[in-house]
Every structure is written in structure tokens, then in C-alpha cells.
Structure 1
Amino acid sequence: MSTALQDPPADPGAAPPVRKRAPLPGLLPILAVGAVVATLAAAWYIDFNLATLVDGLDDVMRLLDRMLPPRLDDPGRIGNLAFETLLMAVLGTVLAAIASVPLAFMAARNTTPHPAVYAVARAFITFCRAMPDLLFAVLFVRALGIGILPGILALAVHSIGMLGKLFADAIEQTAPGPREAVRSTGVGYFREMINAVIPQVMPSWIGTFVYRIDINLRMSVVLGFVGAGGIGFALQDALRGLIYPRALGIVLVILVIIVAMELLAIWVRRMLLNPSQSSPRRDRVMRFVFSGLLIVTTIASLLVLEINPISLFTWVGPSLEVFTRMIPPNFEALGIDLWAAALQTVAIGVVSTAIGIVLSIPVGILAARNVSPNATVYWLARGWILAVRAVPELILAVVFVAALGLGPVAGTCALAIASIGFLAKLVADSVEEIDPGPMEAVRSVGGGWWKVLFSAVIPQAMPSMVGSSLYMFDVNIRTSTILGIVGAGGIGFLLFESIRTVNFDVTGAIVLIIFVIVYTIERLSGWIRSRLV
């Protein structure tokens, strides 16, 4: 734990620091048994079995055959929508970052002006993180109408959940020395934050911001499914018309955009966050260029997307009018169907995460540079991970619904494949960061590849794998709440129907249930991680 968290708060009104709980060594076997039992029970509940999966593979292959060869009927329009999607991601992230900076100072224990302010700020951040971005998009579309602005606002509000939390965590990890030195000169609170805190957190904030643009680009490609702008609208139009070759062509465009953006994000993070000892001037120039490019892109986004800056403030009134109509929530209108759909949502998340864990670990190990048998295997594994991660879960859900029919099995398959790509990357990264000493020791006594793997690699990477798996479970529960929008099971279908039929009191009940499910899983997985690692 950092020194900033161990020391008493610098401000008298700040909340006391949180002490890290001691690990519980016996918790892992209990967790493993509980996970197996929960997976079997969840699979039984949604009628997901191996025979269903094998039969469904033939349907998926037939659907893919109908998609070939891919084609783009209107390249100009698709190109414009793709560019629009990219600008939406950038503008949504910029707006979220602007809102997250003051929020982070209020939500950090060592800079908050009062414990009550800290509690409110953290609660708002948690709410933004717990609510899926597509849920925000549906509500904003209902309040503001079909268009790009609801999509941008959905990306911005949901991004505050991540940026606000990580920005605040970075502030809590700052060293107190510079603040004390600045405070001794008699300056006020704001000068103290600007001169002593922001210089310490800026590298972390930049890395988080760039990573969030990458995430928002993936999110923005599906916002068109609910009328919130972007290339997702064209994809949905092709799928509704059963024009599968055109749909595959659009998916390939999305794939190229996301892969290119991810590679660009990796390069930008490496350039900005790994300073050169030999050329500090070059680093300053590159940061200046990046800042200028971001400002120009933001202004261009407002112009190209025809967003009136005033609308970035006037949206609050119509949105509050819709949101307040969800109070009080009506839990009785749907009866037992509401709770059955909520349980189905959790079951989809459990089964898909279990499949993702089992299949991602081998791929992740092969994608680790220090363990992979050879360069060919390494690049094939990394390419597979990149390709799978580039396709959003909702698009995968649409494909499986078209092949397997409506229901939770399609949603489970979609989330499972997405989990393989996401979790395999986390596994590969954790394996590449292990201590090479134990591996060399096993090799020195004649141990082969398998011996090195099971004796030196997996034991070191296991804590990180467990933590990543719990995080994946958290993400899948959040995502499974909206898969029903495309008929892939869970509570999302009831949510979409309640909004479409203007039963906002029912919507309020569903939103509250989604929040409770996601927040409970997040707290549970966080507690387990703190006791295992």
C-alpha cells in the first residue's frame, strides 16, 4: 500500500484511510468449489449443455457461410459513420475526463473537503460505473430523441465511473511531501492541488484517459442499435434486413477501426508514459503535440457531429424529466417474470465467465512472450486475442441469436467468446510480468516446457489470474444485463420493452435491480480479490 494511504489524512475533515485486509490462504479451494457448483446450477437454469452447444455450432457455421463473401454496398456512407463513431468516442471521453477531474478530488480521501462530500462523490462514481452504457443510451434516446448526442452523453456518463474512480485512486496514492511543502508557503487549497498533486498524478491520468478512448470506441460501435448514432445503426439495419454479407462487411470495417485504434493507443501510452532519459525535450514536445491534437480533435468533433455546445448543458432538464418518471419503481407489474429474468442475467454471467476462464488460460499462456514455445505460436495467439477483443459483445450476441434463436444460450455464447479474448490478454500480460528466476531454476535441472509451466509459471501467475477472473465476472454480469435488447436473454429485454411502451415505473424497478446486481457482484468480487491477493 502506498505511503499516502498509510499516513493520516492531510486534511482534518478527510475520511480515515482504509486498511488492507490480510489474505485468507484457505479461501481459494472454497472459491473453486463454489464456482463449479454455481456454474453447474446456472447452466441447468438456462438449459445450457454440451449437446446444445455442439448442435448450435452447425447453425453458426451455416450462418457464417451465408455471410460470405462480405461486401460494402455504400462505402462512402459506411466510412462517414465509422468516422462519426470515432469522434463520438473521443468527445465522450473528453467530456467524461473534464467532469471526472473535480469529482476525483472530492472522491479522494486525502483531498476531499469533507467526509460527506467524499461519500456523495464515491456514490455517484459507483452509480455511473454500475449502469451499463447501453442502458444510459436507451434512456437518453428516450429523453432527447434519436441522434448522436444521446450516444455521446451515454459514453461520457458511463466513463465517469471508470475515470472518476481511477483518477481518485491516483490522487490517494500521491506522496504527501510536495503538498506539505506547497502548503508551507501559505497558498490556498486550489493552488496546493494544482502545484503539488496534479504533477504527480498526470502520467497516470494520461494513461487512463488513452485507455478509456480505446474502450469507448468499442462501446460506440453498438450505440446505433438503440438509435444513439454511429456505425451500429448501419449494422443493425443490415441484420434486420437479413443482408448478412453487408453485415459482415460492416463488422470487418469495425474490426479494422478497433484494431487500428488499439495499436495507436498502445503507441501513445508508450510514448507519453515511458520518458526518454536521453531526450527529455522530445518527451515535452510529444506531450505538447498530443495535447494540441486532442484539443483540435475535440473541436472538430463538435463541428463534424454538429453538436451545439449549449446542448451539452441543456440535456439535463429533459433527461431528469424521464429519470424522475421512474420513481417510485413498480416491482409488481411484471411479477415473477422480473425476478426470473434477473436470475437468468446472473446465470448468463456465471456460465460465460466459467467458459471464458477455462478456454482463455491456454490461449493467454501461449500469448506470453516469455513462455510461448516459438514466435509463430506467440503471434497466432496474440492475433486471435486481438481479433476477438475487437468485436463487441452485442455484435456477437446478434450473430448467435440469428444462428441459435432467441434466449440465454445465445447470450452466454457471445459473452463466453468475448471473455476468452479479454481474459486471455490479462493472463498473457500477467505471465509476462512474472519473475524469470524460478523458470531458469527449473530449466537448469533439466525441466522441460511443461515442467517449467506447472512448477514456475502458473504458481506465480495464479494470484493475478484469480483477480482477473473475478474482474471478468464483474464485467460479464454488467454486460449480461443488456443482452436482452437483441433477444439474447436476461433482464435487458424487459428493460427495452418497458421503455418502448413508456412504462417508466417498471423501468425504474428494472434499473434498480440491475444496479443492485452489478453493485453486489462488484463488492463481492472486490472483497474476494482483497482476501486472495
Structure 2
Amino acid sequence: MTTLTPAPPRQKPPVAPVARRTLAAPSRNTVTATVILLALLAFSAWSLGEMDLRIDFSYALSFLERTVPFVWPSVGDILWFSVLTLAIVISGTVMAAALSVPVAYLAAQNTTPFRATRWLGRFLSVTSRAAPDAIMAMIFALVIGQGALAGVLALGLHSVGMISKLTADAIEQIDEGPRLALRAAGATKGQEFWGAVWPQIMPSFVATVLHRTDINLRVSVILGFVGVSGLGYELSHALNTLNYREAMPWAIIIFVLCVGFEVISSVVRKTLLGVQPTGRGLGDRIVRRASGVSPTVPAGPVVHSRVRPWTRDRVTTTSFAWIAVVAVVASVWISATQGSNFTNFWLNAGIAFNRLWPPALAESNWEATAEKLFETVQIAGAATLLALVFSIIIGSFAARNVAPNGAVRTGFRFLLVGIRGLPELLLCIFFIILTGLGPGAAVIALGIGGVGLLGKLMADSLEEVDPGPEHALRATGATRAQIFVSATLPQAAPAFVGHALYLFDTNIRAATILGIVGAGGIGYMLAGAARINQHELLVLLLCVLVIVFVVEAISSWVRQLIK
């Protein structure tokens, strides 16, 4: 008889211990970046408190009495000086674009031949950005005379800094696959660049050049105060002779031209490139549409044809290209025939070198120079903080995923375009009238002007965030404010930091320029040294270069830490 053995009692499976959720300790990089940013924020807040921003509207009423009624220039003068200004701006920007490509090639980590050449490329980029364009125009005027070419060279060399930096950033963000494929096929370095790198960065490069053209148009107003022909020179002449009835019409013309060019530039970028932000930083703001295929329609089989059809897009692109070629040729011809020349270039260059070298600064001016340099950094910090506060508000309502409706977004986008159309120099002169000479006018002018750039960059960054967290919170019934604070803003915060640091870097150079018209900082000393003692000018320029290098290094370090 078989005896059945009872089955062993079923044992419960072991229960895994419940892991306690613990908050991960912040990394060392995060802590370092936070400390640096808080220190910069505290410095900017303290600087803003130190500035005298009181506005006396009695000065405004007195100024208004001296400007009304306006005395408008003739239609012929308006057209000619507008064309001359655009010619100088376009020629300088084209020159900068041509020089920026080899500089960016050396500065980009994935294309530079050696580590030393990368440092050389970065050095050239930072140095050209640091040298104030107005001071460069003064120096070129000593060599080739006052006129259009001095402005072209100043704008061209100064613009290399921005264009080459953003182009180098775009090169470092490319897909390496095509370049490696060409290398495996035995292509040379040049073939790798033009066959694999350039097609990927060209949309970003074109967008950067167009954006720099907008900036140079506003900068051309400043160059008019140092003798460069154009609208800025006519404005400076009217102001220097206290003829405010003629000065205000020139200021209005400059504003309308800047806003109009900003709108046209935006339309051209969208038409030619299909602007779509990618969210990978200032150097990569747009991407190319997929070979003419609509992004909403899946690409079908490739059909090869001997004759490329003249589609609407091809006609538009070709028309814009020929218009650009004609504009560039005409601009170069106009600029080359207005005033400046290279007849006695080497003789004048030797005279200018003797005036600049060796650098020397009187011991009695050391303390004043240090104070003015520190004041320049204070102006930049205070203006950046002022712009940051208003940019967060305006930029948020200009973002598609934050604005309550399309009308609000469109209204705030137009507001940002209008602000960007205001040259900082015009704002500075206006606020000097209201506040008097000193750094307060520069802070307000740069603060308002910074909203145009920073607000747009912030709006773009908000629109580029991952919509997943926003949809998840919206599905749970969260309010618009809760979605913004919990999902949208945290994702865009690193980009905000990068944009603010970029503006701080830019404002240091802008504050240097605004000092020329009496808005505090080192600019007034630079303008005086350029006219009287060029040996001191070189020392002051070197001091500005050191400050810009330090700020650039800190900004780059912080951006690397928060990646």
C-alpha cells in the first residue's frame, strides 16, 4: 500500500525591504554653479541699488519745448543717408561673415587641427568681441580717414566675435556621421568641412548673419558719433549743435529703419530657412527643413529628374538670393566711394602706431581708471538684472505654450520687436536728458534694450521645452500657473541662465560704448584718450579686454557646469 506524503506547507515568498526614497545630494558642479550665480545676482542687485535712477520730468518738458515743432530733412536726404547706412552695415556684416568661417573652424573642438589652434580661434573670437567698435572706428579713421570704410572695417572686425562664436557652437553640435563617412572614403579636411559640416551649419550661419545685421544697424548709430557717415552722423551733428528740432526727426527715422529691417529680416529667415527652434543654445537656433519635404508629410520614394522643377519655394529662394547679391555688390560699391581711402595707408598706419605704442598711463589716472572699470561692470550687472526681471514676464507671455491665447502672444512678440528696434544709444541720450549725465542713464537704456533680446530668447526657450510634463499636469487638472511653475519653467531654467550670462557679457561692451556720450563707465575716458593721448587709449583697451576675458571665462565655466 502506497503511503502518500503530505506536501510541505507553502511558504510565503520573502518580501523585499521597502527602499526609502532619499533626495539625491546635489552634485559638486551644481553647488559651484549655484554659488557663482547667486554671487552675480547679489552683485547685480547691489549695483542696481547704487545707481541713481531718479527721473526729473521737468527736464523732459523743457526738452520737449526745444524740439517741437520738428524740422524734417528732405526726402532725398532721408533716402540717401538711409541707403548709405545700410550699405555700411551690409558691407561690414558680409566682411565679418567671410572672416568668421575660418575662425569658427579653428575654434570648434571637432574641426580644429590642434589644441593650440582651438585656443587661437577662441582668442581671436573673444578679442574681436571685446574691442569696442566705436574705438576701432576712431583708430581706422586715423589710418584711412573718416568715412564709410572706417565704419565697415570697425563693424566687420567687431562682428567676427559673435558670428564666429555662434558658428563654432553650431559646428560642435553637428551629426558626426556624414563627416566620418567622408573621412572613411579618403576625403581631405576641406572636403569633409564643405561636404559634411557646412551643409549642417549653413541654416544656423545664415540666421546668425541676419541677426548680426540687425545689431550692426543699431550700432551704426554709435559710429556716427565718431565720424562715420550715415544717419548716426547726422543725428550726432544735430545734437552737438543743440539743434533738437532737427535731431528728433533723425532719431525717428533711425527707429523706423531698425524696426522695418528687423521685420524684413525675420520674414527672410522664415521664408528661406523654415525657422524652427531646436533648443540647443544660442549657436543652434534653427534647423533646415528636410530637403524641401514638408515636416508634416512623410517622405516618399526619391524620384530622380533631369530637370529640377521651378516650384514656388525655389522661385522664392532664388529671388531672395539674387536680391542679396545685388544688395551686397551695391553696398560694397557705395561704401568704397564715400570718403575713406587706402592711398596713404602705410604712412598713416605708421603714424597711428607711433601714437598708440608704447602703452602708457599716468600714475595719477590709475585710481580713476580702476573706478571707471568697476563702474562699467556695475552698469552691466544692474542693467542685466533689470532686463532679466522684465524679460521673464514679457518673454513668458510671448511664448506659445504659456500665453493664454494667440492674440496675447502676438502682441508681446510685436512689443519685443519694437524694443529691439530701439538703438541703446538713442535710449541713453533720452534718459540722459531725464536723469542727467552719469551711469543711471546707461543702466535704464541697456535694461530696456536688453529686454528685446533676452525676452525673445526666453520666449523661444519656453516654446522649445518637452511638452510631455505639461500635458501630464494638464491631464490632472492643474492650472495654467501650476503648469508653468512646475513643468515649463524648470525645463527652460538652464537656457535662461545661459541667455542672462550672454547678455551680461554683451552689456559690458555696450556700457563701454555708451560712456562715450557721458553715461558713466570707462567709455568717456576711452573717447577722451582717442582724441588726446592714444598711448593711454591702448592701456584702457587692454584693461577692457582683460575684464571681458574674465567674464567670458566665468560665463563659459558656468554654462559647462549647468549642462
Q: Same fold (TM over 0.5)?
A: yes
Question: Which has more helix, going by share of residues?
Answer: 1
Alignment of 1:37 with 2:42, yes or no, is yes
Alignment of 1:471 with 2:502, yes or no, is yes
Structure 1 residues 359, 172: closer, same or farther in 2, change over 3 A?
Answer: closer
Alignment of 1:507 with 2:521, yes or no, is no
Deviation larger for 34-43 or 218-227: 34-43
Judge conservation of contact 2:144–2:342 (CA < 8 Å) in 1.
no
Distance 1:90 1:64 in 2: 35
SS of the residue 1:434 aligns to: coil
- The structural deviation recorded for 1:178 is 3.4
Q: How far does the alpha carbon of each residue in 1:98-123 deviate from its partner, in whole angstroms, 9 at most, with x for none?
A: 22223333333443344444433332
- The structural deviation recorded for 1:232 is 0.4
Match of 2:410 in 1: 379
Aligned to 1:417, which of 448, 454, 474? 448
Deviation larger for 371-380 or 215-224: 371-380
Give 2:213's aligned amino acid: I
Distance 2:489 2:69 in 1: 42
Distance 1:532 1:150 in 2: 41
Alignment of 1:342 with 2:373, yes or no, is yes
SS of the residue 1:440 aligns to: helix
Where structure 1 has 5 or more consecutive residues not aligned to the other structure, the ranges are 1-21
Distance 1:382 1:280 in 2: 34
Alignment of 1:370 with 2:401, yes or no, is yes
Distance 1:316 1:171 in 2: 37
Deviation larger for 352-361 or 279-288: 279-288
Distance 1:359 1:422 in 2: 12
Q: How far does the alpha carbon of each residue in 1:210-231 deviate from its partner, in whole angstroms, 9 at most, with x for none?
A: 2222222222233111111221
Judge conservation of contact 2:149–2:340 (CA < 8 Å) in 1.
no
Distance 2:170 2:360 in 1: 40
TM-score, normalising length: structure 1: 0.86
Match of 2:102 in 1: 102
Deviation larger for 207-216 or 88-97: 207-216
Structure 1 residues 529, 167: closer, same or farther in 2, change over 3 A?
Answer: closer
Aligned to 1:26, which of 28, 31, 38? 31
Distance 1:94 1:451 in 2: 46
Structure 1 residues 317, 448: closer, same or farther in 2, change over 3 A?
Answer: farther
Q: Percent identity?
A: 38
Distance 2:405 2:442 in 1: 35
Match of 2:457 in 1: 426
Match of 1:18 in 2: none
SS of the residue 2:293 aligns to: coil
Match of 2:522 in 1: 491
SS of the residue 2:509 aligns to: helix
- The structural deviation recorded for 1:500 is 0.7
Match of 1:81 in 2: 81
Aligned pairs, number = 506
- The structural deviation recorded for 1:309 is 13
Aligned to 1:460, which of 477, 491, 498? 491
Match of 1:516 in 2: 546
Match of 1:150 in 2: 150
Q: How far does the alpha carbon of each residue in 1:321-374 deviate from its partner, in whole angstroms, 9 at most, with x for none?
A: 525643332233523111111111111111111111122211111222222234
Match of 1:277 in 2: 293
Shift >6 Å, 4+ stretches: none
Judge conservation of contact 1:393–1:415 (CA < 8 Å) in 2.
yes
- The structural deviation recorded for 1:182 is 3.7
Root-mean-square deviation over aligned CA pairs: 2.9
Match of 2:256 in 1: 256
Distance 2:203 2:339 in 1: 29
- The structural deviation recorded for 1:508 is 0.8
Aligned 1:128-139 pairs, distance under 5 A: 128-139=128-139
Distance 1:23 1:313 in 2: 59
SS of the residue 2:414 aligns to: helix
Match of 2:13 in 1: none
Match of 1:10 in 2: none
Structure 1 residues 264, 294: closer, same or farther in 2, change over 3 A?
Answer: same
- The structural deviation recorded for 1:126 is 1.8
Match of 1:11 in 2: none
Q: How far does the alpha carbon of each residue in 1:141-176 deviate from its partner, in whole angstroms, 9 at most, with x for none?
A: 233221111101111001111222233333344444
Match of 1:5 in 2: none
Structure 1 residues 448, 62: closer, same or farther in 2, change over 3 A?
Answer: farther
Match of 1:353 in 2: 384
Give 1:472's aligned amino acid: L
Deviation larger for 229-238 or 483-492: 229-238
Alignment of 1:326 with 2:351, yes or no, is no
- The structural deviation recorded for 1:499 is 1.0
- The structural deviation recorded for 1:412 is 1.4
Rg larger for: 2
Match of 1:450 in 2: 481
Deviation larger for 289-298 or 478-487: 289-298
Distance 1:272 1:69 in 2: 43
Give 1:524's aligned amino acid: I
Where structure 2 has 5 or more consecutive residues not aligned to the other structure, the ranges are 1-26, 275-288, 295-308
Distance 1:460 1:172 in 2: 22
Match of 1:167 in 2: 167
Distance 1:335 1:421 in 2: 36
Structure 1 residues 83, 430: closer, same or farther in 2, change over 3 A?
Answer: same
Give 1:132's aligned amino acid: P
Distance 1:71 1:442 in 2: 58
TM-score, normalising length: structure 2: 0.82
Deviation larger for 100-109 or 340-349: 100-109
Aligned to 2:325, which of 274, 295, 303? 295
Structure 1 residues 324, 362: closer, same or farther in 2, change over 3 A?
Answer: farther
Q: How far does the alpha carbon of each residue in 1:51-108 deviate from its partner, in whole angstroms, 9 at most, with x for none?
A: x42x445644664675456552333212211111111111111111222223333333
